[in-house]
C-alpha cells in the first residue's frame, strides 16, 4: 500500500464507523442474548451468561419441522432458479428479437416489487386456480425472486464472454451440448454457483411471500416471527436466529468470493 495515499477525513471515518455500528450492533445483541440466563426479559447488561439455551433449542420438537421445511423449500427453489434463470439468461444474452428489453424487465420485476404485492398476487392466483397450499406453493413463491438472482449473475457473465469462442467451438466440430459442457459451463460455473447460493440464502429467510403462500405451514422465519409475538423462551428464539444468520451469511460470503473475479472469463475482451 502506498504511504502517500490520501487519508480519509476524521469526520468521514467517524460517520463510517457509526453507520457500521448502526447496521451490525443489533446482530451482535442477538448473539449476546442467546447466552443470557434471563428467560423472559432483555436486561442490559445480561444478569449472567449460559449456553443452556442451545441444548433447550436442540430439544424443542416444534423447531425441527419448520427448519426442514425451510431447507427443503430453499433447495428446490434454488434448483428451479438455476435451471430457468440460466435458460432465460442464455436467450437474453445471445438472441436478438423484438421486445427483448421489455421481456428482460418482466423477468427482473418480481425482485423489484414489494413482497406484499407478490404474495397477494400469488395467493389470488392459487385461489382462482383452486390450488391448495403446500410446499410447492411456497416454492413457486420463492422461485419468482430466486430466478432473478440467478438470471442476473448468469446474464452478466454471458455478456462478458466473446461470441467467438462458441463459433470457434462449432468450427472445430463440437455440437451444442459439447459447447455448453466444455465452453459455457466452465465460464458460467462460478457465476451460477454464486447465484444459487444467494438464491438459497434469500429463500431460507423469506417471510413476506411465505406468509401469503404457506397456508397453515410454518417455515423457520415464520416460526421465529410467531415466537417474537408470543414468546415462550426468548433466548431460544435468539439461538434459532443465529442458525438463520449462519445459513444465510455463509452462502452470501461464498458467493462474494466466487464472483469478485468474475471479469476474468475465457474469451473476455477478445
pLDDT digits 0-9 by tens, 173-208:
776 667 777 777 777 777 788 888 888 888 888 888
- On whether both 38 and 123 belong to a single domain, the answer is no
- The pLDDT score that the predictor gives to residue 163 is 62
How many separate domains does the chain show?
2
Q: Cβ contacts of residue 68 below 8 Å, gap of 6+?
A: none
Say what the pLDDT of residue 73 is: 92
Q: Kindly report the pTM of this predicted structure.
A: 0.78
Residues 199 and 225 reside in one and the same domain = yes
- Answer whether residue 263 shows pLDDT above 50: no
Predicted local confidence at residue 68, as pLDDT? 92
Same-domain pairing of 211 and 153: yes
User: 204 and 249: one domain?
Assistant: yes
Mean predicted confidence (pLDDT) in 60-83: 90
Cα-based angle 83, 88, 90 (whole degrees, multiple of 5) = 95
Residue 36 has phi, psi (to 5 degrees) of: -75, 150
Is 26 in the same domain as 131? no
Residue 264: per-residue pLDDT: 42
pLDDT of amino acid 104: 76
Model confidence band, residue 105 (pLDDT cutoffs 50, 70, 90) = confident
Would you say residue 115 has pLDDT above 90?
Answer: no
pLDDT of 25 > 60? The answer is yes
- Residue given cell 431460507 in the structure block: 204
List, in order, residues 6 or more apart from 35 with CB less than 8 Å away: 46, 49, 50, 51, 53, 235
- Shared-domain flag, residues 29 and 92: no
Per-residue 3-state assignment (H helix, E strand, C coil) for 22-72 = HHHHHHHHHHHHCCECCCCCCCCCCCCECCHHHHHHHHCCCCHHHHHHHHH
Are 180 and 226 contained in the same domain?
yes
Q: How far apart are CA 162 and CA 38, in angstroms?
A: 61
- Indicate if 198 and 110 belong to the same structural domain: yes
Instruction: Give the per-residue pLDDT at 18.
Output: 86
28 and 142 inside one domain: no
Per-residue pLDDT for 269 more than 60? no
Instruction: Indicate the pLDDT class of residue 158, thresholds 50, 70 and 90.
Output: confident
- Residues 74 and 87: beta-carbon distance below 8 Å: no
What whole-number distance in Å separates Cα of residue 213 and Cα of residue 123?
6
In a shared domain, residues 72 and 34: no
Give the pLDDT of residue 268: 40
Cβ atoms within 10 Å, residue 77: 26
User: 10 Å Cβ neighbour count for 182?
Assistant: 11
**179 and 92 both lie in a single domain:** yes
Q: Residue 267 pLDDT more than 60?
A: no
The confidence score (pLDDT) of residue 72 equals 92
Mean pLDDT of the chain: 79
Grid coordinates of 116: 406484499
Q: What is the pLDDT of residue 270?
A: 32
When mean pLDDT is compared across 9-18, 127-136, 144-153, 186-195, the lowest value belongs to 186-195
Helix (H, G, I), strand (E, B) or coil at 155: helix
Q: What does the pLDDT look like over 200-230, one tens digit per residue?
A: 888 888 888 888 988 888 888 888 888 777 7
Give residue 26's pLDDT band: very low, low, confident or very high (50, 70, 90).
Answer: confident
User: pLDDT over 90 for what percent of the chain?
Assistant: 6
> What number is the average pLDDT over the span 237-247?
83
Q: Residue range 33-46: average pLDDT?
A: 72
Question: 187: domain range?
Answer: 60-259
Residue 265 has a pLDDT of 38
Amino acid at each position: 500500500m502506498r504511504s502517500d495515499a490520501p487519508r480519509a477525513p476524521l469526520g468521514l471515518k467517524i460517520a463510517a464507523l457509526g453507520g457500521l455500528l448502526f447496521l451490525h450492533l443489533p446482530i451482535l445483541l442477538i448473539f449476546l442474548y442467546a447466552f443470557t440466563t434471563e428467560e423472559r426479559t432483555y436486561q442490559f447488561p445480561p444478569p449472567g451468561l449460559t449456553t443452556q439455551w442451545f441444548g433447550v433449542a436442540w430439544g424443542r420438537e416444534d423447531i425441527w419441522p419448520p427448519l426442514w421445511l425451510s431447507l427443503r423449500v430453499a433447495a428446490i427453489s434454488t434448483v428451479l432458479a438455476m435451471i430457468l434463470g440460466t435458460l432465460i439468461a442464455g436467450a437474453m444474452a445471445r438472441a436478438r428479437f423484438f421486445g427483448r428489453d421489455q421481456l428482460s424487465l418482466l423477468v427482473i420485476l418480481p425482485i423489484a416489487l414489494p413482497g406484499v404485492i407478490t404474495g397477494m398476487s400469488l395467493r389470488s392466483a392459487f385461489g382462482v386456480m383452486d390450488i391448495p397450499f403446500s410446499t410447492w406453493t411456497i416454492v413457486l413463491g420463492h422461485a419468482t425472486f430466486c430466478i432473478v438472482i440467478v438470471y442476473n449473475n448468469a446474464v452478466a457473465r454471458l455478456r462478458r464472454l466473446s461470441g467467438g469462442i462458441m463459433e470457434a467451438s462449432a468450427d472445430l466440430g463440437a455440437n451444442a451440448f459439447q459447447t455448453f459442457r466444455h465452453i459455457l459451463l466452465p465460464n458460467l460455473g462460478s457465476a451460477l454457483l454464486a447465484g444459487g447460493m444467494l438464491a438459497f440464502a434469500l429463500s431460507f429467510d423469506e417471510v413476506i411471500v411465505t406468509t401469503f403462500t404457506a397456508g397453515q405451514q410454518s417455515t423457520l422465519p415464520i416460526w421465529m416471527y410467531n415466537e417474537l409475538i408470543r414468546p415462550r423462551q426468548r433466548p431460544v428464539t435468539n439461538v434459532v436466529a443465529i442458525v438463520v444468520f449462519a445459513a444465510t451469511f455463509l452462502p452470501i460470503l461464498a458467493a462474494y468470493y466466487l464472483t469478485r473475479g468474475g471479469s476474468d472469463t475465457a474469451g473476455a475482451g477478445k
